Structure 1
Amino acid sequence: MTNAAVHMEGQLHAPAHGAVATEAVHTKGQQHPIKLYLVVWGWLFVLSTGSYLVDYFGLQGYLRWSLILLFMMLKAGLIVAVFMHMAWERLALAYAILLPPIAVLVFVSIMVLESEYTHFLRVLFFASPS
């Protein structure tokens, strides 16, 4: 073979060796440092404590529910990202799993705004004259 043919053959087989090595790593499983899981566990503990303190201090109204929902979403996000390994998945898979709940939250928010408007109209027009 000529030098060009040997060089071309080397280029053709180079990605195959990389693919085999990558496949071998994926079959054994991906290892993450234990420190990552301990840090996430710590953050989950802190967020749960914050959620408990909302009740302990007796917060009421929108502040209470906003804080509870915030803590809940942060804890769920940490669990999904780290313990369910979504942080290391392809972006398309992450979008396929995360976008539907986000869309549901947007639609629920729209329904809440519409329900308040509907309640306002019913009070305005169906209130008994006094």
Structure 2
Amino acid sequence: MAPVEAHAAQQQHHPIKLYLLVWGLLFVLSTFSYLVDYVGLQGYLRWSLILIFMVLKAGLIVAVFMHMAWERLALIYAILLPPLLVLVFVGMMVSESTYVLLTRLLFFGAAPGT
């Protein structure tokens, strides 16, 4: 088998049904995201729901439309691991910022007028 023919034989053709199903799920998740604003939810519940729907939509797009669901594990780690590590570092910075704020308040006291 020639290299071009071997490569063509390895190519996977995904059924259009899969893409239509994902498109429908994206539509439903977007509708839920807009309903969060329409219903008028406020506070942490609102932002939690919006972020959950956003992450679900991004995951579907990356997995199906960018074909990450069918890639090698090393490539998946190379693309998904750095953003996860950034989130861990952001969490560490938030934790440290709280500590620094409490330490400053303890030693320097509250600002005048607060």
TM-score (norm 1): 0.73
RMSD of aligned Cα (Å) = 2.4
Which moved further from structure 2: 107-116 or 46-55? 107-116
> 1:24-103 to 2 correspondence within 5 Å?
24-26=8-10, 29-103=11-85
Cα gap change, 1:121/1:60 in structure 2, threshold over 3 Å: closer, same or farther?
farther
- Which has the larger Rg? 1
- 1:73 partner letter: V
Cα gap change, 1:114/1:82 in structure 2, threshold over 3 Å: closer, same or farther?
same
Calculate percent identity across the aligned residue pairs. 73
TM-score (norm 2): 0.81
In the comparison of the two structures, how many residue pairs are matched?
A: 111
- Mark the runs of 5 or more structure 1 residues left unpaired by the alignment: 1-16
Cα gap change, 1:79/1:50 in structure 2, threshold over 3 Å: closer, same or farther?
same
Higher relative contact order (CA 8 A, sep 6+): 2
Cα gap change, 1:98/1:55 in structure 2, threshold over 3 Å: closer, same or farther?
same
- Mark the runs of 5 or more structure 2 residues left unpaired by the alignment: none
